[in-house]
Every structure is written in structure tokens, then in C-alpha cells.
A and B are shown apart, each in its own frame.
Chain A
């Protein structure tokens, strides 16, 4: 249902319908902004990332979406992630950053969220995340949200380069099975 709507709106955007882009913007503004903020860490930078994503959508320069690429929301989130990583690389400000992301994961004062779906998603994934070992949470943070290179991850947690991928795989496997269990509980 949601997919149909997005796909239709996207079709209009390809036809250069400004209202359609605005509609999509309204729908995804908060999610993309929050995700970009998590990655690039400043509201100004996150705004730039969101703007870049909108430009790519408008110009079609970030590739063209079709349903074979999965859900539209995943596609636009992947684009946001890639744009954030590019942004970070350009800024070359990785060095300044300290990894204290685990704190954020245990953050209990979740703001009131009007987008119910997001809130449910978030609760679900947060719960799965917190059931992982600290180190595994850390690996996922560095890998997914910071877009670190293999070498940077190896250096940060002091493990051999060749074992990084294995660690990521293990952490994600745990996360996945936690998520699957929760899904099971729901049904």
C-alpha cells in the first residue's frame, strides 16, 4: 500500500512534477534528516545531505528506482547513507570523532514520535541491538552508520584486518536472529 503510493509519487517526480517532490519530501524529511544526522553528526551537514538526496531524486542522477530494487523507502535510505558517507569523506573529519555511540543506543528518553511506524520499527530494532554484546553493537555502528573502512574498524577495536568482515557478519547475524525472534513474538 505504502509502496504503491511512493512509486506513484516517484513516477510523477520523474515527470518533473514539483508538487510530487514536495510530497515525497514531506513524507521522508524527518526520517532522512534523522538518519543523516546520526551519520554526519551536525544538523547543518544533515540538511546538506538531505538536499543532495533530493537533488539526486529530481535529476535522476542517483540512479532510477524500480520495484526490483526492493522497497522505495530502503532505496532512498541507501541513497541517504551513501550520500552521508560521501559527505563525511569530503569533510575528512573522521579523526575528530570519538566513538561513543553505544550511549545513544541505551538512550531511554525516546522523544514523542508522531510517525508510528517509525517508532515501532525503532523500538524493535533498538531492542534487538541492545541484546547484542557491546562490542557487536560497536561494530555495527562503525560499519553501518559511520561507513568506516575495514582498516579503520580494525584499528579502532584492535583486531587483525582479516577478521573484520567476520566480525561484521557475526554481529549482523545476531542482530538478524534477534529481529526474527521479535517478529515471531509479534505474530
Chain B
């Protein structure tokens, strides 16, 4: 059996696995020194093998097309970027933030992309049919997700009117393992009318089984504090909003997402999938 898993390294390296296979393999990988070694070796190949490519001239005008498209993505939302000036992004008296966070204008741009995604989610709100299959708890979570979306919408509106909410910080959430994991997301902390809200949004997450749920954690030092459970839609997208007001003296070092057997765990029981850098 073990040897069979070892063979699958090829498909793992080449991204030829579905989420379940991948998960099973990653469990194997964590405990298999020979696979780890081999994987490291394969990864190291990328410093040599790509140079075998025959040098080719990029097509006429490619640079302009590519860069225009990349930058256009950011500017698409109706929100003018100047709404988020450096002065608006300030530290909140509630919370001390440590350096790993992206602060300032970068945070604003991340919020912009959050808002962009928010528009997508509302198109996918035809979750009603799916909720039948979900447990009561999951239904509640789906409701919370909608709330999170509404929160984003509210933030958007208010910002357009001149704004009462401040983006305190924003960070990407990325896979923490060495291995390739498609899921990703972002965490944003917003201060709005004296309320401190954590908004989390994820995409490309693996399918949940049974009563499983994703859970957000605010990590202070080594201590994880639960910050909301959530589920995802059929496209692997999900969101949660969590009120941080009673975390006044919390030093937020990191934000992480785990996969839990049950919603609303008090301590992480499952694997941490995503974390801020």
C-alpha cells in the first residue's frame, strides 16, 4: 500500500490528482522521507531544465497586452483607489499588529480584489438548492457567509460615499505546506462604526465531507483563537465575517484556516490549510 502511494508522487508533482487523492497523498508525504527527498530533488530541477527551451521571441505587442490585462484587473472595481489613502489606514487602539501584515496601500488594493470577488459570489448565491443537503449547522454557516458578503457590500457602499470604515490590514492566505494546494484566500480587518470585523474569503478550497467545516483562527503567539466556521459553495468559494471587538488586547500574529471535523471547534483538531504569511 505504502509503495503504491510512493508511486503517486509523479501525479502529485504534475498536478494530476483530484482533491481527495491529493489529500491522501499529502498525508503519506508528511511521513515518507523517501517521497520528501524525491520531491525536493524534482523541485530542484526547475533551476536547470527550463533552460532547455529553445529561445523564442515573444509575439509583437505581448508586453503591453499582458501588463495592461494584469493592471486592468485591479482597476475594474468602481471604487477609485484614492479612497484608500495612507492616512486612512491607521492602527486601531484595540489591537496591536505585528509586521507580517501587508499594511497601507497594499491593504487597500487587496480589499479591492476582495470586493471584486464579492461581486462574483453574489452571482453564485443560488445556494438554496444545495442547502437542502446540508445539516442545520451548515445552513447557519451558509447564512453567515451571506452575511459576510453583505458586510462587504456595505463596506463598498460606505466607501463610495466617502467612507466610515478603515481597512486596518489585509493579508493573503496561502497554503503553508511545501506541497501544491490550490486553495487560497484573503483576510481583511476592517474597523467600521467602532466595530472591528475580520473578513475572510477563500477560493478553490477542497470539498467538505459530512459535517466537516472550515474554521478561521486568529493566532496570538502559539495560541489559536476561534474566529468563525464556514462552508463553501460548489465552486470551492466561501467567506466568513467575525467580530473581533472582544479581542481588544489580542496581538494578532497570524490568521489561519483549518479543516475541522465539526463546525465551531474551540481548538484546531484538523489540519491547517491556509495561513497568512
Residues of chain A having any CB pair with chain B under 8 Å:
14-16, 18, 21-22, 25-26, 29-31, 33-35, 37-38, 43-44, 46-47, 50-51, 54-55, 58-61, 63-64, 66, 70-71, 73-74, 77-78, 80-82, 85-86, 89, 104-105, 107, 110-111, 113, 115, 118-119, 121-122, 125-126, 129, 140, 143-145, 147-150, 153, 161-162, 164-165, 168-169, 172, 179
The answer on a CB contact under 8 Å between A55 and B10 is no
Q: Which residue of A lies closest to B81 (CB)?
A: A16
> Looking at the complex, which one of A16, A164, A172 makes contact with B45 (CB distance below 8 Å)?
A172
A36→B9 CA distance, assembly (Å): 23
A25→B58 CA distance, assembly (Å): 12
Question: 10 closest A-B pairs (Cβ-Cβ)?
Answer: A121-B51, A149-B16, A38-B53, A34-B53, A150-B10, A147-B14, A35-B50, A74-B47, A51-B66, A33-B58
> Looking at the complex, which one of B10, B53, B58, B174 makes contact with A143 (CB distance below 8 Å)?
B10
Which of B102-110, B126-134, B150-158, B231-239 forms contacts with chain A?
B102-110
Residues of A contacting B45 with CB < 8 Å? 144, 172
> Looking at the complex, which one of A14, A51, A82 makes contact with B65 (CB distance below 8 Å)?
A51
Residues of B contacting A29 with CB < 8 Å? 58, 62-63
Residues of A contacting B6 with CB < 8 Å? 165
B215 part of interface (Cβ distance < 8 Å): no
Which of B69-77, B217-225, B250-258 forms contacts with chain A?
B69-77
A169→B50 CA distance, assembly (Å): 18
The answer on a CB contact under 8 Å between A25 and B14 is no
The answer on a CB contact under 8 Å between A15 and B11 is no
Q: Can you report 9 residue pairs joining A to B where beta carbons are below 8 Å apart?
A: A30-B57, A55-B70, A70-B47, A115-B55, A118-B51, A118-B55, A140-B49, A148-B16, A165-B9
Shortest distance from the beta carbon of B270 to any chain A beta carbon, whole Å:
21
The answer on a CB contact under 8 Å between B47 and A73 is yes
> Looking at the complex, which one of A47, A55, A85, A115 makes contact with B14 (CB distance below 8 Å)?
A85
The answer on a CB contact under 8 Å between B46 and A81 is yes
The answer on a CB contact under 8 Å between B48 and A55 is no
Residues of chain B having any CB pair with chain A under 8 Å:
6-11, 14-16, 38, 41-59, 62-63, 65-67, 69-71, 73-74, 102, 105-106, 109, 113, 172, 174-175, 180, 184, 277
> Looking at the complex, which one of A35, A54, A82, A150 makes contact with B66 (CB distance below 8 Å)?
A54
The answer on a CB contact under 8 Å between B7 and A162 is yes
Task: Given A29-B62, A150-B11, A162-B7, verify A16-B106 contact (CB < 8 Å).
Answer: yes
A61→B44 CA distance, assembly (Å): 22
Residues of B contacting A37 with CB < 8 Å? 53-54, 56
Q: Which residue of B lies closest to A109 (CB)?
A: B54
